[in-house]
Chain A
């Protein structure tokens, strides 16, 4: 289990995350939503042990995360972020094999083992990139590239997936495909995922649990149905919304009401 306990993070004087607690448990997807600057990405980075906490704790299986080496964390927690611009030519397979780094006997040196290659092949199949494995990353479309970033995260075989705006540059069909892949991992391999997103409807559809953040504080946390109410969303986003049930999935569906800014 990966959890944050009463976590507070400050950048100089500004409080980015204030007294946030959350748990990632196997098989579940937690979505974090909130306006720009609410501290969503900061929370994600803190869960990965990247940011210094001002107070509170991040526990990996009950042990403070700073007790683990980066390689151990790399095997347990995978991050899918907006990938940085690539300045060197790298093939899709090489890129995905990067996810096997933390499993090498000697981290700095060494060659991929047969197992590394097998895992890479599996995740390339899973993300439907097998045909493109020899292509260069910068020849791929935005959607294919984002799938490769997910494939690399899956190749780590980490039990916790932290996704930061994974669908930001994707078209409609790819958004759903990507989250379906994450859902699949959680259901079949008992992984746990945290998804930071601006897309409330996508969160409603895929998440088991939603954390609604504003200015670093948790305004509400719970199942989508309880969190995605017109009152709470107005409080957080300062916009009037209509919430009804999705005609197919029954998940809450949020539609901003035009001209309804309060």
Chain B
């Protein structure tokens, strides 16, 4: 028996998850190919970098210039993707809806690549075009998936495959326009790579993650009804068209900025909301903000594994998330 979700329960669950995220940010910044002294690093982190606490110059830079931005980016990207996934799932009434599997991430990737190839000098064009790409891909999948009987889970997944493969060929095409030296880093980026934590984009990704989660949480009660059926929601008083537009735009913004910053980290939007619903129930007033925090936690940990497991070499974080996500997808597919 699951208990009804109340404000108190939401605050407790989200508070606990937020503490876990903070703990992960601190602990994971100590791990890596370069071992940092735990006590001194903790002291420096707690002083927010004001006091080096006896860390060497190189160690200080590794902590504050490399690891911390990367971990914060991981948290923001994870939060964005998980929140987008949770709201796509509720809106489309489909536990398999996920930005990566729907082709939305690929849409954002194409947008980012166009920005890189044609407006390379201007970093700001990347999230903007990524957002446009994500939104176009979302609308394309939605239109393709809508049959006479509405969008069945299978139809939606197939539409996602079609859009994904189409956009993949667009990506290959754009790749050929690049010079060979950049292709390797691109391949990494496409699989989801947090190593390029850019100082200009990082605040944008964090701000969008927070604002987007708030915006979607503010529609959570409508999403609760949409999750049960579009017609039911309409009958009960939900302005279905308006909520759909809000979710499509906000989720595309979340996916767009995170892909612009870190490529397509797959399956986060599938794994995290599923685990959250399993443990906390389906009420979106709790599961959307909890997915955001859980997503941050998940990608921080996954990226730490990615950069430590074969250190000093690194894996793209997307390889780790897919390793966990793909089997879960198969399990879910068997259940719907």
**Interfacial residues, chain A to chain B (CB-CB below 8 A):** 48, 50, 69-75, 77-79, 81, 83-84, 86-91, 93-95, 97-99, 101-102, 104, 107-111, 134-136, 152, 156
Contact = CB atoms under 8 A, between A and B. Distances in A.
A208 B4 CA distance: 40
Contact of A108 (B95, B231, B243): B243
Contact of B1 (A69, A70, A90, A135): A135
Interface stretch (B68-76, B260-268, B278-286): B278-286
Contact of A50 (B217, B227, B234): B234
A101 B236 contact: yes
A89 B281 contact: yes
B228 A95 contact: yes
Given A81-B231, A86-B228, A94-B283, A111 B7 contact: yes
A84 B217 CA distance: 24
Contact of B237 (A89, A101, A134): A101
Contact of B221 (A75, A81, A101, A136): A101
A102 B267 CA distance: 35
Lowest 5 CB-CB distances: which A-B pairs, in order? A74-B237, A102-B237, A84-B229, A79-B235, A71-B237
Given A81-B231, A88-B277, A107 B237 contact: yes
Nearest to B217: A109
A136 B6 CA distance: 18
A78 B232 CA distance: 10
Interface in B263-316: 277, 281-283, 285
A70 B234 contact: yes
A2 to B, nearest CB: 14
A99 B236 contact: yes
B48 interface: no
Contact of B235 (A81, A88, A111, A136): A81
A94 B9 CA distance: 15
Given A87-B336, A107-B238, 18 more contacts: A73-B237, A74-B237, A83-B229, A83-B232, A84-B93, A87-B95, A87-B227, A89-B2, A89-B277, A91-B2, A94-B4, A94-B282, A101-B237, A101-B238, A108-B219, A108-B220, A108-B221, A156-B236
B229 A93 contact: no
Interface string B229-267: 101101111111001000000000000000000000000
A86 B277 CA distance: 14
B1 A101 contact: no
Contacts of A75: 237
B282 A89 contact: yes
User: Most chain-B CB neighbours within 10 Å: which of A74, A87, A98?
Assistant: A87
A98 B224 contact: yes
Nearest to B222: A108
B178 interface: no
A146 to B, nearest CB: 14
Contacts of A95: 228
B22 interface: no
B228 A84 contact: yes
Nearest to B215: A108
A135 B3 CA distance: 10
Contacts of B94: 87
11 contacts: A79-B235, A81-B235, A84-B93, A84-B231, A91-B4, A98-B225, A98-B236, A99-B236, A101-B221, A108-B221, A108-B222
B235 A109 contact: no
Chain A CB within 10 Å, residue with most, of B225, B228, B229, B240? B228
Contacts of A74: 235-238
A75 B234 CA distance: 12
Nearest to B281: A89
Contacts of B283: 94
Contacts of B239: 69-71, 107
B52 interface: no
Contact of A81 (B224, B232, B281): B232
Contacts of B1: 91, 134-135
Contacts of A101: 221-222, 225, 236-238
Nearest to A84: B229
B32 interface: no
A211 B220 CA distance: 40
Contacts of A108: 218-222, 243
**Which one of B227, B232, B236, B277 has the highest number of Cβ atoms from chain A below 10 Å of its Cβ?**
B236
Contacts of B231: 50, 81, 84
A127 B153 CA distance: 32
B235 A48 contact: yes
Contacts of B5: 94
B221 A70 contact: no
Contacts of B219: 108-109
Contacts of A77: 235
A81 to B, nearest CB: 7
Contacts of B4: 91, 93-94, 97
A161 B90 CA distance: 27
A226 to B, nearest CB: 32
B336 to A, nearest CB: 6
